Structures are given as structure tokens and as C-alpha cells.
């Protein structure tokens, strides 16, 4: 079977999405599922949680497929939905991927307790950020994404990502000023 050109696949994706035949949605899903799993894993760093997010994306995409306006490619719409669900999960659970900050040496209980309190304060401050600042911060600082990658994923320019990162860091510094 010859590989479809990018434009033909985009058009075909739209036809498959708008079809009422469940088999057509399965074909569409099989084209994008692997990429969506990579997106979810890059944000959550937990394969089980990422799989749950991808399943939720599948359910929501199927349920809302007729609401798709066609302003972007279907694959982009699915990646955006996956990104939002994954970031919302991080926020809802007040989780920040990775350990924050590093643990103290064993035996230094007072220092370890202090670090744990600071870590909880940081997690709370990140969770309190507005979504438009929190999402780029999490993608950059904890998923290791570049400004260009974040911009592509969020549908904004790399310059706008840098501005949001600056504002998020400033808001965190203000929220944590009493901890210094």
C-alpha cells in the first residue's frame, strides 16, 4: 500500500472523524494513538497514568467528534486534547512531575522536614498558577520541552511561551517569597 501524502491524510482524517461508522473512528485512532501516548507520557512520566489519559482522549474525541470545527488538523486537535487532559490531571492531583526539591541526607531530620514543607509549598504555588501560565511551566521545567515545542503543542509562538514562562516564574517567586 502506498503511503498517503500529508495533505491526503489530513483530508482523510477529517472524513474519518466526521463519519458515523465506528470502524472509521478506529482507523483514525490507530493513526494517532502512538503519538498521543508519547504526549501523555512526556507530561506525566507515568505509563499507567498516560494510558488512562489516552483512553480518556479516545472517549472524549469520539463523543465530541461532530463538534470539531476543522480550524486545525485532526491530529493537532487530538494532541491538544491529550495535553489538556494530562496537564489537568497533574493540576487536579497537585502533582509536579519529579521530586521537588532533592531530599536531605539521612539523619538530618530537621532539614528533611524543612525541604518537604518547601516542596509542598512549591507544589501548591504551581497548582495555584492560572492554567495559561501553569501548562507552559510544567512542560518546560518538568517535561523538558523547548519553547518551540511548547508553542507548537499549545498553539502559540515560542516568544509567547517565553513570556508565559517569565510570568509564571515571577508569580512563583512572589508566592514563595516568605519561604526564602
In a 13 Å sphere around the CA of 37, the CA atoms on its Cβ side amount to: 9
Can you name the CATH fold of 109-179?
Arc Repressor Mutant, subunit A (1.10.10)
How confident is the model over 100-156, as pLDDT tens digits? 444 444 445 555 555 555 667 777 788 888 989 988 988 888 777 889 988 888 889
Can you name the CATH fold of 10-92?
Rna Polymerase Sigma Factor; Chain: A (1.10.1740)
Parse the chain into domains and list their residue ranges. 10-92, 109-179
Angle between helices 47-64 and 74-92 (to 10 degrees): 130
The pTM (predicted TM-score) of the whole model is: 0.56
Amino acid at each position: 500500500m502506498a503511503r498517503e501524502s500529508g495533505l491526503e491524510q489530513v483530508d482523510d482524517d477529517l472524513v474519518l472523524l466526521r463519519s458515523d461508522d465506528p470502524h472509521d473512528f478506529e482507523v483514525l485512532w490507530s493513526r494517532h494513538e502512538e503519538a498521543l501516548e508519547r504526549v501523555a507520557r512526556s507530561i506525566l512520566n507515568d505509563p499507567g497514568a498516560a494510558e488512562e489519559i489516552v483512553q480518556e482522549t479516545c472517549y472524549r474525541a469520539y463523543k465530541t467528534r461532530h463538534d470539531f470545527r476543522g480550524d486545525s488538523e485532526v491530529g493537532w486537535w487530538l494532541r491538544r486534547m491529550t495535553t489538556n487532559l494530562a496537564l489537568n490531571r497533574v493540576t487536579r492531583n497537585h502533582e509536579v512531575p519529579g521530586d521537588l526539591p532533592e531530599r536531605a541526607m539521612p539523619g538530618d531530620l530537621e532539614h528533611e522536614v524543612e525541604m518537604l514543607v518547601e516542596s509542598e509549598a512549591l507544589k501548591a504555588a504551581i497548582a495555584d498558577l492560572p492554567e495559561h501560565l501553569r501548562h507552559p511551566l510544567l512542560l518546560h521545567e518538568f517535561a523538558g520541552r523547548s519553547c518551540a515545542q511548547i508553542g507548537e503543542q499549545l498553539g502559540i509562538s515560542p516568544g509567547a511561551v517565553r513570556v508565559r514562562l517569565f510570568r509564571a516564574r515571577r508569580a512563583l517567586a512572589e508566592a514563595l517569597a516568605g519561604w526564602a
